[in-house]
Every structure is written in C-alpha cells, then in structure tokens.
Amino acid sequence: MKRIALYGLMALLLFFVPLAADSAQPVQVEILYMNHGPLQPILKELNDLCAMYGKSIIVSRYDFESPEGERFMSRKGIKQHVPLVIWIDGKSTFPLKGKEISFMGFPTGSGPVFFQGKWTIDDLREALDQLIHKK
C-alpha cells in the first residue's frame, strides 16, 4: 500500500512540476539603441545573447531615431543623447556583485570612451540568469 501511495505521489510530482516551471513569466528586456556604426558589434552581441534565452525572455527593441523610439524614450523619461539603454523587467539598473549596475551606454571597453558605461555583457548575462532562475 505504501508503495502504491509513493508511486502515485511521484507521478503527481512528475506531472505538476513541469507545469509550474512552464507557467513562469518571461523576463522583459527592452533595448533603446542608436543604429549607428560604432554600436553595431554590441547590438549583434546583444542579439546573440538574447537568442540564447529563447522563450525565457521577451525582447523589445527601439531605435533611438525612429518615431516609435521617440515615444518609448518619452515614456521612459529619457531626454539625453545616449547610445544604448537596457531595461530588464522595467529597470535599467540591477543589483549585482554588491553594487548597482546601470545598463546604460556602451559596455565597458567598447565604443567611444565618453559613451562607455560601467557594465559588461557578462553583467547583463548574470542579471538575466538571476532573474530567470528566480522566476
């Protein structure tokens, strides 16, 4: 009798655990970018990174100079000239390694120095990993 109850419990767990995992909401990623030459390698790297996550994330991209991008910037309160901003679940900053990382500007070490932020593609990957595993 105990064996039947154990098998029944295991069958229920095997059925319901995947359903619970599938019901997690995907992480929302919004990318505001300037479609200029110096940023192209970074945009490709971001596209490759986002593609790795499949359905775990939903990515929206907004070209800084398009009407849609201008409306998006207005909604987000962006008034300055910035080549790249990334929001993860509505926030452009993320607590990582004991500090607040702002996903704004070129990643450190790429693009013009005066437009570099203090973040890396690995920081973005780590932030996405944390949120996906948390959900």
| Residue 127 lies inside a defined structural domain of this protein | yes
Q: What is the CATH number of the domain that holds 66?
A: 3.40.30.10
pTM for the complete prediction? 0.79
pLDDT at 117: 87
Say how far apart CA 21 and CA 47 lie, in whole Å. Answer: 25
| Residue 110 lies inside a defined structural domain of this protein | yes
Burial of 83 by CB count in 10 Å (0-12 exposed, 13-18 middle, 19+ buried)? buried
Q: Higher-confidence residue: 89 or 109?
A: 89
- Write the pLDDT tens digit of every residue in 26-61: 999 999 999 998 999 999 999 999 999 999 999 999
> What is the count of structural domains for the chain?
1
What average pLDDT does this structure show over 105-125? Answer: 89
Structure tokens at 40: 């192209």
| Residue 99 lies inside a defined structural domain of this protein | yes
Q: Which of 61, 104, 65, 71 is nearest to 85 (CA)?
A: 104
104 pLDDT higher than 50: yes
Q: Which of 37, 77, 44 is nearest to 61 (CA)?
A: 44
pLDDT at 81: 85
